[in-house]
A and B are shown apart, each in its own frame.
Chain A
């Protein structure tokens, strides 16, 4: 059981890394695309928008984390 848990934990760490919010966002965007496709509504735009938004948010979170851990930087995050 311990090995199975370790395997799934390792796989999660490998694929998702340290930003689980992006992974959840990708799954939700795919689900929304599937829903729109089933409803025969224009659907292709969901993923590009989601990718841009998720990447920007992920970078913002990571940059803030880096700013916090690099107190020697001459500037602080733009908005707290």
Chain B
């Protein structure tokens, strides 16, 4: 496996694991409160829809000429990755609330209880909420699988990395029987933002006709460079906001307070 392929698999794995943790919280909440069978039916329906999108768009994307594909995919990945990075930096500085799976679980559980009486048999609420949750979280993963996979012509590798991440999260969720609150989601999101932005920059420039010094080896400088720059920006922002602002973060975020270790 080449360095770019390892980067592809790692990026997709991390992004998918983060989204799967968030989707798992929603499914656990509606499943435990309402109906497991209906919640799992919703998961199945959303998974089928996501797989269909990957199958349909994956083939279409890989049919594009490589330079067109790379400039298109690179640009999209970069725009998308910069969003992830910006949010991660703002969370690190306490200017944006961090994800707290226990809090989300509590909110979803309350909403499920407040949704009215449960009828025996199929529960439309549990089906809809879990289907929508998995679909929305999964769309970001599909986007990353398609863009990373297509630009390397390795959609199956990207899909396998995504599948492995989902499997691990499901196993961990079944074993814990609770939301995975100790997963360092925010640090993982910073790492995903760094990878998306780095690969987006690399492929976008190549697609536009640029030649990187050292070709693929340039990624060994680009990825750490983006990580250092993001951490420097987070550090500078924390110095301006001061320790008081970090107190706004919601509970359960201590595990990944130090984004510098991402």
- A residues with a Cβ closer than 8 A to B are 14-17, 19, 22-23, 26-27, 30-31, 33-34, 36-38, 43-44, 46-48, 51-52, 54-56, 58-59, 62-63, 66-67, 70, 73-75, 78
Given A30-B204, A34-B208, A43-B211, A59 contacting B90 (CB threshold 8 A): yes
On chain B, the residues within 8 Å of A55 by CB distance are 82, 85-86, 89, 197, 229-230, 233
**Residue among A31, A38, A55, A56 with max Cβ neighbours from chain B (10 Å):** A55
Given A30-B71, A78-B240, verify A47-B204 contact (CB < 8 Å). Answer: yes
B143 to chain A, nearest CB (A): 8
Contact: A22 with B79, CB < 8 Å? yes
Interface residues on B, range: 35 or more
Q: Is B248 an interface residue (CB 8 A)?
A: yes
B96 and A66 form a contact (CB under 8 A): yes
* B95 A48 Cβ-Cβ under 8 A: no
Partner of A74, one of B229, B230, B242: B242
Whether B241 and A48, one on each chain, are in contact in the complex, defined by CB atoms closer than 8 angstroms, is no
Partner of B233, one of A19, A34, A46, A59: A59
